[in-house]
Amino acid sequence: MTHILKSMTAILSLIALSPASYAAEISPPTPQGWWPHFESMITLAVVLMAFAIAWLLNHASPKWRAIGTSLAALSCFGIVAWFGSVLASGVLENPKPFQAPMDAFKPTLLWIQAGIAFVGGCALIIVAAGQFSKGTRLVLSNANEAHRYGRVSRVLHWATALLFLFMIPTGIFASMIPEDAWYRTEYNVVHKTIGLIIFGLVIARLVWNRRSKRLALDASLKPMERKLAHSAHVLLYALLIAIPVTGYVMTSHHGYPTFFFLIELPSFLPESQAYIVWGLFHKYVLQYLVYIILGAHIIGALKHRFIDKHDTAFKRMVS
C-alpha cells in the first residue's frame, strides 16, 4: 500500500513539475481557474482506477474482490452522472455540425450507453453483495494455467476492457464538442492519452501471450460457439490495435496534435485530406464493428455463464 501511495505521489509531482512549455500549450489557466493540468490529473485518475479495479477483481480475498466489483459499479454510475452533467451543459443541444447523416443519432447512442452503464452498475452491485456474503479464496499464479488465465493476463484484460468501454461514449462526446468550447483540447488530452495507453496495453498483452501461452477455448463450448468465440477474440485484438492507430493517423493528417498526458507527440505524417478516410474508419466503420463484436463477446460470455450455467469459461477470466 505504501509503495502504491509513494508511486502515485511521484507520478503526480512529475506531472505538476513538468516543463512549463508543455504546460502552457496544453493547459493554460482555464476560464474557471481550476487547478493546473487538470486534464492530465483526470486521465491519471481514470487509468489508476481501471488498474485498481482490474487488480482487485482478481484478489485472493473475496472481500477485496467484492470491493473491486463495487468500484466497477461506482464507475458505471460515474458514467451515468457524467452524462447528466453533459446534458446540463447544453452540448447535446448544440453539438459540432454533423459530418454524416448518422451523426444525428449520436445523442440517442449516448443515452443508450448511459442506460447500459446504469443496468451494468445495478447488476454489479448485486454481484458484489454476493461476493461479500459468500466467496472462496482465489489462489492465482502470474502465468496462465491449463484451464484458467493467470493474474497478469486477467489484470491486462480487465484494465484494457474498462478503459476501452470508457473510451466509446467519451469518444462520441469528443466528436460533438463545439469547436470553440474552452475544454475541447483538454478533453482531447484525456481521449488521446487513454487511447495510446490502450495501444500500449495490447502490445504488452501480445508480448505476454508469447511468454505465457494463451488458453485453448473452454471444452464446454459447442462447435459453433467455439468458432464464434475464437473469431471474436482475434477480431478484438485487431480492433484494439486498429482503433488507436486510425485515431492517431486521422489526427495527424488533420494537422492536430496527439497528447500523452502533458507531452505533445510529434506527427510523423503530413497534413492531408487522407484524414477523411482514416476518420471514416476511426469514427464509423470500426466503431460499428466494435458494437457487433464486443456485443457478441460480452453477451456470449454472460449467456454461457448465466443461461447455459457453464461458469467454467467465465471463471477462466474472473472469479
Q: Identify the three-state secondary structure at position 244.
A: helix
- CB-nearer residue toward ligand HEM: 29 or 200: 200
Of 170, 145, 142, 167, the C-alpha closest to 156 is 142
116 sits near ligand HEM (criterion: CB under 6 A): no
**Which one of residues 26, 49, 117, 161 is an interface residue with ligand HEM (CB under 6 A)?**
161
283 sits near ligand HEM (criterion: CB under 6 A): yes
Contacts of 15 (CB under 8 A, 6+ apart): 37, 40, 41, 44, 261, 262
With beta carbons less than 8 A apart as the criterion, state whether 107 and 178 touch: no
User: Interface residues for ligand HEM in 250-269 (CB under 6 A)?
Assistant: 251, 258
- CB-nearer residue toward ligand HEM: 37 or 149: 149
Amino acid code (one letter) for 278: W
Neighbour-count burial of 309, counting CB atoms closer than 10 A to its CB (0-12 exposed, 13-18 middle, 19+ buried): exposed
- CB-nearer residue toward ligand HEM: 15 or 158: 158
C-alpha cell at 19: 516543463
43-51, 132-140, 267-275, 290-298 -> range binding ligand HEM (CB under 6 A) = 290-298
187 sits near ligand HEM (criterion: CB under 6 A): no
Binding-residue pattern over the window 188 to 217 for ligand HEM, x denoting contact by CB under 6 A: x--xx--xx-x----------x----xx-x
Kindly state the smallest distance separating residue 234's Cβ from ligand HEM, in Å.
8
Residues in the chain: 319
Contacts of 310 (CB under 8 A, 6+ apart): 218, 220, 304
With beta carbons less than 8 A apart as the criterion, state whether 262 and 18 touch: yes
Interface with ligand HEM (CB under 6 A): 106, 157, 160-161, 164-165, 167-168, 171-172, 174-175, 188, 191-192, 195-196, 198, 209, 214-215, 217-218, 233, 236-237, 240, 243-244, 247-248, 251, 258, 282-283, 287, 294, 297-298, 301, 313-314, 316-317
